[in-house]
Amino acid sequence: MNSVSFDLDERGVAVIYLDSPVTYNSLDGVVLRKMLEYFDRCESAGVRVLCVRGNGKHFCAGADIKGLARQSSESTPTLIRALQRLNQLPFPTIAMVHGGASRIPMINATTASVAEFDAFVFSMILAPPMALTKS
């Protein structure tokens, strides 16, 4: 199971730490539900800016497909809901990228991204199912 933690300082700067280095900070249902709770907390606390960081070697590998499959059928809607919420928060959000990162979803959902010099971003684009069939 993946984990995530939260910190809020006296200036109104909140940080969500993706803390599952073994799975490259991938997002499963547990992490996504916790992030939704943290978003609520940020809004009620009057946060001025929210940063998302990854602990370990990489920022975030994206969705934990195996983890989402093992959890309830609600996990995929939770992924969409969490990313929409992140994108629509009423204050700036920043992805603080290091190591490897999936372009989709976390980076695209934030207001801005800041990357270390040696960070790399990858994206897997899948063809539509019809394009994979022989004619």
End-to-end Cα spacing for the chain: 42
Q: What is the pTM of this model?
A: 0.82
Task: Say whether 119 sits in a helix, a strand or coil.
Answer: coil
Q: Which CATH number fits domain 4-132: 3.90.226.10, 3.40.50.12280, 1.20.1280.50, 3.40.50.620?
A: 3.90.226.10
Looking at the DSSP bridge assignments, the partners of residue 54 are: 18
| Over residues 37-42, mean pLDDT | 97
Q: How far is CA 106 from CA 45, 50, 92, 133, in A?
A: 23, 13, 14, 31
Instruction: Tell me which residue of 46, 44, 42, 20 sits closest to 31, measured CA to CA.
Output: 20
Question: What does the domain layout of the chain look like in residue ranges?
Answer: 4-132
Higher pLDDT, 91 or 117: 91
Is the pLDDT confidence value at 25 over 50? Answer: yes
